[in-house]
A and B are shown apart, each in its own frame.
Chain A
């Protein structure tokens, strides 16, 4: 079965760092893009960025460039989304998503990781 398994919920304080993960299984991890999507409480979906684990080609939405870092370790079929200094406004659900190409076709979604940033 093809699936993306995301790491568990996180509760952090402003200024702390965080790295969440998304592990792919049941398919060739290096042959598909992995995208990250933010959903703030009660709000819509926002593309943050995507990575091609095969060659680490990474693209960011202008809104998230410099705010987060997307990476992947193909040896363990895992993609990451990380922050160096969290803000309260980073409180959201974060989904990873499998994309066959850079078009907006997501055929497999992770269940999401809730990140709560509060002092």
Chain B
């Protein structure tokens, strides 16, 4: 099972909106509405930001939103803030692995 494909880096200025893509196949992203997004700051454990494609856990800012079209899921961060600078990973349910879960390659978000 190959990792889902994410851009290596995305950047934006404070206040702007950015979108991170997560491309898979019909066996994972495209086939199920089980895509999660995680934020990871250096030296810290990941944090759940979005689950089941577009649901936000309690306590996560509404500046974070998720969507999906075909085999590609997306995470949008609006009103970019300095604290959003981190690595972001998508993860999807997959029918192609005995483990049933696969991560994306990860995206470094830089706030200019």
A residues neighboring B (CB under 8 Å)? 35, 37, 44-47, 49-50, 59-62, 65, 95, 102-107, 109-112
Most buried by A among B35, B57, B100: B100
Query: Which 6 residue pairs across A and B have the least CB separation, nearest first?
Result: A104-B91, A109-B45, A44-B106, A103-B34, A104-B101, A61-B99
Bound-state CA distance A60–B99 (Å) is 5
Q: How many Å lie between the Cα of A110 and that of B47 in the bound state?
A: 11
Residue of B nearest to A4 (CB): B45
A59 touches B100 (CB 8 A): yes
Main DSSP-derived SS at the B contact region: strand
| Chain B, 29-69, CB within 8 A of any chain A CB | 34-36, 38, 40, 45-48, 51-52, 57
Q: Flag if A106 contacts B36 (CB, 8 Å).
A: yes
B interface with A by C-beta (< 8 Å): 1, 3, 34-36, 38, 40, 45-48, 51-52, 57, 87, 89, 91-93, 97-106
In the complex, how many residue pairs between chain A and chain B have their CB atoms under 8 Å apart?
76
Bound complex: CA of A62 vs CA of B100, how far in Å? 11
Q: Contact: A109 with B46, CB < 8 Å?
A: yes
Shortest A93–chain B CB gap in Å is: 9
User: CB-CB < 8 A to A65: which residues of B?
Assistant: 98
Q: Can you give 19 contacting A-B residue pairs, CB < 8 Å?
A: A44-B105, A46-B103, A47-B101, A50-B101, A61-B1, A62-B99, A103-B34, A103-B93, A104-B34, A104-B36, A104-B91, A104-B102, A104-B103, A105-B34, A105-B36, A105-B48, A105-B51, A105-B52, A106-B48
Q: How far is the CA of A47 from the CA of B103 in the complex (A)?
A: 7
Q: B40, B57, B98, B101: which contacts A103 (Cβ < 8 A)?
A: B101
CA distance A35 to B38 in the complex (A): 15
A111 vs B43: C-alpha distance when bound (angstroms): 9
Q: Which residues of A contact B89 (CB under 8 A)?
A: 44-45
CB B75 to nearest CB in A, in angstroms, measures 14
> Which single residue of chain A is at the shortest CB-CB distance from B102?
A47
| Residues on the B chain within 8 Å of A109, using CB | 45-47
Tell whether, in the assembled complex, residue A59 and residue B98 are in contact, meaning their CB atoms are under 8 Å apart.
yes
Q: Closest residue to A45 on the B side, CB-wise? A: B103
